[in-house]
Chain A
Amino acid sequence: MDAYGVILGMALATYATRALAIFLLSRRLPPALERFLSHIPAAVFAALAFPPLVAPEGSFAPGLPAAAAAVAAAVAWRTRQIFTTILAGMGSYWLLRWVVG
């Protein structure tokens, strides 16, 4: 499949998630399904964040990225700003690389 095929598939998948409830919902979702869905964002973000930070080569081996991520997490907790978090993480990563060599 070429790039535009993937993009079209992504567009349809995204639109489906956004439109489905708006068009179909005249009744509530089952509570169990609602609970499951409500935890999906945190699960998604953790699944995407952890491997490159603590296992950059594929197996668990925390190094400079994990140390930088700890700083970024503290900044994220304080500021709740994504861009500030990125700056803190990249800044400490570059600083650590410069110090360690």
Chain B
Amino acid sequence: MTPASPPASRLPPHGFWAGLAATAPVVPGAVAFGLVYGVLARQAGLSLWATTAMSVLVFAGAAQFTAVSMWGQASAGLIIATTLMINLRHLLMGASVAPHLLGQPARWKALLAFGLTDESYALAISRYLRGEGSREFLLGANLGLYGGWTLSTLVGGVLGGLVVDPGRWGIDLVFPLTFLGLLVPLLGRPVTVVVAGASGIVAVATAAWLPGKGNLVLAILAGGAIGAVLEAWWTPTA
């Protein structure tokens, strides 16, 4: 709904349908990810309903993968705390998109916050930066990913009941490979290489002392702190 905009000759880049359409390139990846999540969640011992409920209610791929990989080994509190840590990046994305939503009603903010993902944030913020963003576009992008994620999760959950013994096929390797695939594209900056190296080393070195994946919390805090300190030293701007 952009009444002041000029009549568009092509698909208007502002609205709900444009946001939904913009997700087309990334939805196949989300669907593949969702299928794998669904299979692994079932093998970790979650019921089909719990597998699907997690996608419907949480809607956070990396956090859900991590929770499933910790399932049965870590306490509920540690799984929830790790979810919080992994999703701290959304705090930054929310902070970045917040100036564009300042005048919006609380119900719109509440709805858009629920669906804020890496991909929909990236699509929407690029429109905002070009002056073409809108709450409807962000909602459409959120919904495209939400639909792809929840439905593929359900299908993966059904398939997951059929597959057995992930260790035999090395399917459990999909977890670290996924995080490697998320990490490597970030390594263009030297400071990020140091952050990743420090975090990885701390995670491996403290695994024996801090069982139940408590080593991850220490590694993440150490990596974030080292990155913040290095960047404060390296960046001349105050």
Query: Given the complex of chains A and B, what is the CA–CA distance between A53 and B176 in angstroms?
Result: 7
Contact indicator B76/A39 (Cβ below 8 Å): no
Within 8 A of B (CB), among A13-56: 13-23, 25-26, 28-29, 32, 34-55
Q: Is B60 an interface residue (CB 8 A)?
A: yes
Query: Given the complex of chains A and B, what is the CA–CA distance between A39 and B86 in angstroms?
Result: 11
State how many residues of chain A have any CB contact under 8 Å with chain B: 70
Contact indicator B196/A7 (Cβ below 8 Å): no
Query: Given the complex of chains A and B, what is the CA–CA distance between A84 and B32 in angstroms?
Result: 11
Q: Which of B47, B191, B198, B223 contacts A3 (CB 8 A)?
A: B47
Q: Mark B150-188, 1 if CB is under 8 A from A, else 0.
A: 000000000000000000011011111111111111110
Chain B residues lying within 8 Å of A9, measured Cβ to Cβ, are 76, 79-80, 83
Contact indicator B195/A21 (Cβ below 8 Å): no
Contact indicator A25/B180 (Cβ below 8 Å): no
Given contacts A9-B76, A42-B199, contact A36 B94 (CB under 8 A): no
Query: Given the complex of chains A and B, what is the CA–CA distance between A93 and B21 in angstroms?
Result: 36
Chain A residues lying within 8 Å of B208, measured Cβ to Cβ, are 58-59
Q: How many residue-residue contacts, CB under 8 A, span A and B?
A: 282
Within 8 A of A (CB), among B102-143: 102, 106, 109-110, 112-114, 116
Given contacts A10-B58, A18-B94, A35-B232, contact A69 B204 (CB under 8 A): no
Min CB distance, B146 to chain A, in Å? 13
Query: Given the complex of chains A and B, what is the CA–CA distance between A15 and B202 in angstroms?
Result: 29
Q: Mark B221-235, 1 if CB is under 8 A from A, else 0.
A: 111111110011000
Q: Which of B1-9, B10-18, B212-220 is the contact stretch?
A: B212-220
Contact indicator B97/A47 (Cβ below 8 Å): no
Q: What are 20 residue pairs bridging A and B, where the CB atoms are less than 8 Å apart in the complex?
A: A1-B76, A9-B76, A10-B63, A13-B81, A22-B109, A22-B113, A34-B95, A35-B228, A39-B226, A40-B88, A42-B196, A44-B199, A48-B66, A50-B199, A51-B204, A52-B175, A69-B180, A82-B33, A83-B33, A85-B181
